[in-house]
Structure 1
Amino acid sequence: MSASVLTFPVGSDETIDYVGRVRALGPEILATADEIEDNRRIPKSLLDQLLAAGLYRLLIPTCYGGGEVHPVTFFNAISALAEYDGTIAWCVGQANGCAMSAASVPEEVAKEIWGDPSAIVAWGPGRGRAAPHGGGYRLSGSWMFASGGHHATWLGTQSTAILDNEGNEQFTEDGNLVTRTFYVPAEAVKWKDIWDVIGLRGTASDAFTIEDVPVTMAYSVKRDNVDEVVVKSPLYAFRAKNLYAASFSGVALGLARGILEGFKDLATDKKGKYGTVPLQDNAVAQADVAVAEARIRSASAYITSELADIYDDVCVSGALTPEQRMRIRLASTFCIQEAKVAADIAYHSAGATAIFASQPYERRYRDLHAVTQQIQGHKVHYQTVGSYLMGHEPDLTSM
């Protein structure tokens, strides 16, 4: 990808205050938190408002009615959502990562899938097989962890093997299996409830199967292959996994912020078991708040600075370098881990109060620790980046 790809205006999102839109929805998000947790769904009335606010269209190209926002704008919007509810932030972030594919499919396909303002695409890991049939293929397979998939209008089938006319899998010269991600209408899939979990329950990241559904190559992408990008703008020099890194960092830091703010509110009234003054006047609690605040702020500043600098470079070069991809991975992993530490500080400082479901800690705490279990937050990334920093060839598998 060369600098010639930069044909769309930069910064078109600056006229829209997406964080302000999130803040306006905040009270209703908080009011429906228990319903989201219990039913493992975002209520339709709230979903409609999230869609109307354009929050599911942040990474869709402007030429298809999307926001095509700066990565920092995306991070800030997701982080703000997570302050109110981790499930919503996670689902919105996931759907936006899927929506980046709109820049890589033919125009008529993009308009069919994402042209409807209520369009949502979800996907998850799994395996499928696409067997040649007429001028297209017949698709079958199973996938899981499709966050927010029950609200989706289309589903993506990652790692679908393209079979030859004899029904055999095909491989590249490098020995890699030839795969594509196909898009199918939501009504074509069958769901299986697998999401009995302790955190991010409302995402309903269930499994789905597809059996012998007709598809064509036009409704497919090779995920994160920038060579297939047809909407030539700086945002789409980033891969979906780069923006997922920003999203999940935002979810983690937003949840940590929500826990910390909850503790600040508690500290105005609560006294320690052996204390005679409110926690807000307790020296240990004061120090804990300061340390947690510093961790959240420094982590947020780190990743937004990296995203801003890298985006500026991409506007000149037209492509992400391996070094820049490593920087995004390092910043995002650090953010997720720092969010966990900051939240642990505030949660512990709240004492026994924090374990009650009626308090603003317990669900956020479970949600945040669910985020840390996802591959984006795994500490193994430190080793991968560290190896590169010490002179080894970059392993870009997760970058």
Structure 2
Amino acid sequence: MIEPSGSDLAERARAIAPLIAREADEIERTRRLTPDVVDALIVNGLYRALLPQRLGGAEAPIEVFMHMLEEIAKADASTAWCLGQCSVCAMIAASLDPDTAREIFNTPPGILSWGAIAHEAHAVAGGYRVTARWDFASGSRQASWLGAHVRIIGADGAPRKNADGSPEVRTILFPVASATLHDVWQAIGLAGTGTDSYEVHNLFVPERFTAFRDVTSALRETGPLYRIGTGATFSLGFAAVSLGVARATLDAAIALARGKHQSLATSAMRDNAAVQGLIGRTEGDLRAARAYLYATAHAMWRDLCATGEFSAAHRSAVRLATTWTIHQSVRVVDTAYHMAGATAVFRSNPFERRFRDMHAIAQQIQARDSHYEDVGKSILAGGR
């Protein structure tokens, strides 16, 4: 395996993109990343983009991570989604003791996946015991470890509380062999992600395989990356995925317009003023969305490196930029799809799957309209 340095992750992603593009039909058909694609991601160190350097990871700056996902998404959205999911899950290593982190992430393939927050674990001597089922574990079919975010029930049978009175939530980690995976991901888009469900029965999880997720005081790593937290990093990564899908779809429409002669039309699409104007405006929309997203990430990272703080203002700025970028990417894909006409509906052409993938991305938590309400409330309260 090539040790990731961080700075060249996007170049490595670009180098393996043709392989991923060739495998995209098989990924869609089998609803799994193919072995060749997984091997390429592992060999090039891409799953280790956000692992601490002490573990041999890249601990990459956030913009490098985003650029890596954007390049992969141009080839296949499902691959980029799985890579983004598992890379962000690996950030939990910053809150584990080093020996435990090495056992999980430095034993091949060293891939962790997890699903939605749900259910409870009961505190017992030396750890926790849990019986539960979780959903939405993208990348679980490549993973060697699974995680789950659970509320903790104390030995007295009462829910444990944090100092502020909120429920104590821990992330528990366990080998994939300890769980049963359920093949449930029959979805309109992102079909190849294998975003399946998983369950465990009466599983004992030792204390050392648990951690507090996104709790700054629990961090064992001091790098700025881990102060961002997994929530905002998911948002930035998946917004970058949406940009990659939008770029590839618009590029396909441009290539089509250069050569297509529409039915009953007297001239080629490339000579049609309406098509020319539509491409120009859509190109401007996509470039603006990308510039806004990366400018927001850059400003946040600059401040974070200088102050060590991921502030409420940073969180709000990231939320606004990522949500808007995903929505803008949907518009770009829709425009390109409709521009292609009947050509776009055939699976053999590069529109139909990307259209479905983009609309699946837009249904995820990172694109909820309610995020605008949260940001607007902050602005009206005097924040930015």
**Per the shorter chain, which TM-score range?**
over 0.9
Contact (CA 8 Å) 1:291, 1:342: kept in 2 or not? no
SS in structure 1 of the partner of residue 118 of structure 2: strand
Q: For residues 23 and 135 of structure 1, what CA distance do their matches in structure 2 show?
A: 46
Q: Paired residue for 2:55?
A: 64
Which range moved further: 18-27 or 168-177?
168-177
Contact (CA 8 Å) 2:95, 2:213: kept in 1 or not? no
Q: Paired residue for 2:324?
A: 334
Q: For residues 14 and 220 of structure 1, what CA distance do their matches in structure 2 show?
A: 28
From 19, 35, 47, give the equivalent of 1:44: 35
Q: Paired residue for 1:6?
A: none
Q: Paired residue for 1:5?
A: none
Question: Which amino acid in the other structure matches residue 46 of structure 1?
Answer: V
Contact (CA 8 Å) 1:139, 1:213: kept in 2 or not? yes
Gaps of 5+ in 2: none
In the alignment, structure 1 residue 88 sits paired with structure 2 residue 82: no
In the alignment, structure 1 residue 210 sits paired with structure 2 residue 210: no
Q: Paired residue for 1:304?
A: 294
SS in structure 2 of the partner of residue 373 of structure 1: coil
Q: Paired residue for 1:136?
A: 127
Write out per-residue CA displacement over residues 312-359 of structure 1, whole angstroms, 9 at most, x where no aligned residue: 111111111100110000000110011011111111111111011110
Contact (CA 8 Å) 1:51, 1:117: kept in 2 or not? no
Q: For residues 216 and 122 of structure 2, what CA distance do their matches in structure 1 show?
A: 26
Q: Would the alpha carbon gap of residues 307 and 13 (structure 1) be closer, same or farther in structure 2, given more than 3 Å must change?
A: farther
Q: Paired residue for 1:219?
A: 209
Contact (CA 8 Å) 2:6, 2:59: kept in 1 or not? no
Q: For residues 305 and 382 of structure 2, what CA distance do their matches in structure 1 show?
A: 28
Q: Paired residue for 2:152?
A: 162
Q: For residues 324 and 15 of structure 1, what CA distance do their matches in structure 2 show?
A: 23
Which range moved further: 353-362 or 119-128?
119-128
Please report how far the alpha carbon of residue 131 of structure 1 lies from its aligned counterpart in structure 2 after TM superposition: 2.3
Q: CA RMSD in A?
A: 1.7
Q: For residues 275 and 136 of structure 1, what CA distance do their matches in structure 2 show?
A: 71
Contact (CA 8 Å) 2:115, 2:147: kept in 1 or not? yes
Q: For residues 5 and 105 of structure 2, what CA distance do their matches in structure 1 show?
A: 22
Stretches of 4+ aligned residues off by more than 6 angstroms: 12-15
Please report how far the alpha carbon of residue 126 of structure 1 lies from its aligned counterpart in structure 2 after TM superposition: 4.2
Q: For residues 271 and 241 of structure 1, what CA distance do their matches in structure 2 show?
A: 46
Contact (CA 8 Å) 1:152, 1:186: kept in 2 or not? yes
From 232, 245, 253, give the equivalent of 1:255: 245
Write out per-residue CA displacement over residues 170-210 of structure 1, whole angstroms, 9 at most, x where no aligned residue: 23454422221100001000111221111001111111111
Q: For residues 303 and 6 of structure 2, what CA distance do their matches in structure 1 show?
A: 22
**Which residues of 2 match residues 1-399 of structure 1 at below 5 A?**
16-158=7-149, 160-172=150-162, 174-391=164-381
Q: For residues 118 and 68 of structure 2, what CA distance do their matches in structure 1 show?
A: 32
SS in structure 2 of the partner of residue 247 of structure 1: helix
Please report how far the alpha carbon of residue 13 of structure 1 lies from its aligned counterpart in structure 2 after TM superposition: 7.6
SS in structure 2 of the partner of residue 150 of structure 1: coil
Higher relative contact order (CA 8 A, sep 6+): 1
SS in structure 2 of the partner of residue 151 of structure 1: coil
SS in structure 2 of the partner of residue 41 of structure 1: coil
Q: Would the alpha carbon gap of residues 113 and 15 (structure 1) be closer, same or farther in structure 2, given more than 3 Å must change?
A: closer
Q: For residues 138 and 382 of structure 2, what CA distance do their matches in structure 1 show?
A: 35
**Alignment length (residue pairs):** 382
Q: Paired residue for 1:7?
A: none
Contact (CA 8 Å) 1:256, 1:339: kept in 2 or not? yes
Write out per-residue CA displacement over residues 143-190 of structure 1, whole angstroms, 9 at most, x where no aligned residue: 1000010110110111x1222223332234544222211000010001
Which range moved further: 310-319 or 135-144?
135-144
Q: Paired residue for 1:397?
A: none
